[in-house]
Chain A
Amino acid sequence: MKYTLKNVSLPNGDRTNVVVSGELISAIGQSTEGEVIDCTNLMVLPGLVDLHTHLREPGKEDSETVLSGSQSAVMGGFTAVSAMANTSPVADTAGVVEQVFRLGKEAGLCAVYPVGAVTVGLAGERLAELGAMADSAAQVRVFSDDGKCVSDPLVMRRALEYVKSFNGVIAQHAQDPRLTEHAQMNEGEVSSRLGLSGWPAVAEEAIIARDILLADHVKSRLHICHLTTKGGVELVRWAKSQGINVTAEVTPHHLLLTDDLVESYDPVYKVNPPLRTSQDVMALRAGLADGTIDIVATDHAPHPAEEKECEWSAASFGMLGLETALSVVAKTMVSEGLMSWEDVVRVMSTNPARIGGYARQGQQILVGSPANLTVINPTESWSVDKEKLLSKSRNTPFHGHVLPVKVVHTIFEGVIVVKDGKLTGKKHE
């Protein structure tokens, strides 16, 4: 199969034709081959890579499945997602990660990289068989107890040390459990008014600081999931200045939304870590722009209606993210003049692929690169309608928002899986 993306803009603004043959980019320049797809006014990016995705399968198939999550991902322009380990059963053995890996292959819409649990059952007590998961067909390199923090400092130290043998990385959900018992939202002026138990910034920052020092001590790789506070940005900035091998992510929702939205008591705004203050949002944007924060990751967390249609404290934590991520980044960073499209490529494709060790993802648009591509219309805006999302769940905080940038085509290993904003088919029919 051959086709040409004709007259398409590259992230640096140059216009050209990109020819795809089979699974690879075969030519860039003036020539056209095969089917010609007119991309005037469109821009091609390396396929987006999400390092933090909850696909819920196995165990919570009413919220999302690997297939529905893959569909949601490609609609959002992602060609790779990382399936978090907090499924039921937990992805803490080679068997479960291989199952998720196989489900991803069967869905065939994008690459699905399972994340392995750090500890058995996410209990934070005994290390899971990290080596077995690394050696499995899924070749796991990213390990995380996300949803829970590896709070025991000794367990964290050992995990960081152990994964060095296969160049793994520990992705930490930084949340001191004792400081966040019954926590419902960011602790501050709003929580004090609303009478909701606080989730203080210090509970996140204390773990980040500790883990940075541990990573330095054992000379291993640490990744901080979903940074949300100004103080956390400062800590990561300091760590990088010391040459410590730490990377950090921010979610799209933490780049846009603030804790005063909780005044509605609508649990669609309930998320962990919680929405913070506008000061934190500004620090996160600055940190992302200057490279302190390496990547944007969605923390796509689907939940069924009944887990959000209830009183605040009974509701589950989490928000959808895959189908709105690029638009929110465009709104908060590109439209605000903080980042270029090349920067977006860096934080949503190149860097996450590098951190995860995803060899066929995040490549530059060059002849010979795998054809994992996202074609967008950078000047078209759209109104988010939760009923039209491809996720099985509806818990987007952006319902009704008008956001910039539409994903037009998504290309996975040469196959056009989304064409003109519609799902077409999977890679291997």
Chain B
Amino acid sequence: MKNQLLSINDLSHEDVIAILATATQLEKITTGPTKKLPTLRGRTVVNLFFEDSTRTRISFETAAKRLSADVINFSAKGSSVSKGESLKDTAQTLQAMGADAVVIRHGSSGAAQRLADSGWINATVINAGDGTHEHPTQALLDAYTISKRFPDNNRDFSSLKIAIVGDILHSRVARSNVLLLTMMGAKVTLIAPPTLLPVGVEKWPVNISYDLDAELESFDVVMMLRIQLERMSNYYFPSEREYARRYGLNETRLKRMKKNSIVMHPGPMNRGLEISAASADSARSVIIDQVGNGVVTRMAVLYLLLGGATLSEVLS
């Protein structure tokens, strides 16, 4: 495994299986009487957040602390030369402080790769969301959630049909999930209005649909993406109401879904827009599970990247 996680492309299929297996083990251990493992004692993990995201930061912070790492939260609002400290200066500061891993969230696509490739810092870099590019740990936790809900598949998704619905164009969650879920064999369909699909999407290894209703009954997983309200002012769709009618997961649609199928959402949700309250809170919804699974998946990533011990040691 590489010692960084910037994109799902950094992972082989073997790596992914190792992360999911490790997460399973860690979940068993941490739901027992001792929640905390001494594995990363003395290691420093910095959460470098250029963009607000309380839930992702807390998830990484909890994961690092359960592995006994020292955690520093560095919230650097703004970016670039004009608005405060540059990425380079921040990176060099963290280097001087001896960070072992930097978990970076940044509004600019490629910022995590820039940090890792620049030579400004030696720490292991983990991408916690960069602009509209990728959010690899979200995809890993989604895969973990799916594998738990479909245990008979044994982490092979080739019999699963998965729909990702909404703002694909601006979604880092969608990009990482397309890479990861197709790597695991799933048949992925992207469903969105044409304005919210990137030019060139036809080259992705997925099916494209503009119609949520067309094959709704066939999906095992329906993953709804958050719609940013400011998209409306850029003519991506005419109104909230129209979007909700055409692409929202409402109760009528929920009822049509396949037996045993699940509803996912990376959060935070716009209830009543892309997902109705009834769908979000239904028995099909695994949205709360996703949050909990986020912690163990991120523990697995930190564990394997910072390598306190080998995988076989943790599994034994």
Contact = CB atoms under 8 A, between A and B. Distances in A.
Interface of A: 184, 187-196, 198, 200, 264-266, 306-307, 309-314
Contacts of A264: 113, 117
Interface string B180-220: 00000000000000000011110110000000000000000
B200 A194 contact: no
B109 interface: yes
B128 to A, nearest CB: 15
Interface in B104-128: 106-111, 113-114, 117-118
B87 A310 contact: yes
Contact of B114 (A187, A196, A200, A265): A265
B106 A188 contact: no
B134 interface: yes
B114 A312 contact: yes
B276 interface: no
Interface residues of B, number: 29
A191 B88 CA distance: 24
Interface of B: 79-81, 86-88, 106-111, 113-114, 117-118, 130-134, 172, 175, 198-201, 203-204
A243 B266 CA distance: 58
Contacts of B199: 187-188, 191-192, 198, 200
Contacts, number: 86
Contacts of B79: 310-311, 314
Interface centre among B81, B118, B203 (most CB of A within 10 A): B81
A278 to B, nearest CB: 15
A187 B110 CA distance: 16
Contacts of B108: 311-314
B81 A192 contact: no
Given A192-B200, A265-B109, 18 more contacts: A184-B109, A191-B200, A194-B133, A195-B109, A196-B131, A196-B132, A196-B133, A265-B110, A265-B111, A310-B80, A310-B87, A310-B88, A311-B106, A312-B108, A312-B109, A313-B109, A314-B81, A314-B108
A188 B81 contact: no
Contacts of A313: 107-109, 131
Contacts of A309: 86, 88, 118
A260 B80 CA distance: 24
A311 B175 contact: no
Nearest to A188: B200
Contacts of B114: 265-266, 310-312
Contact of B203 (A189, A266, A314): A189
A192 B201 contact: yes
A62 to B, nearest CB: 12
B23 to A, nearest CB: 26
A119 to B, nearest CB: 25
B115 to A, nearest CB: 8
B175 A312 contact: no
A264 B113 CA distance: 8
Contact of A191 (B117, B118, B134, B198): B198
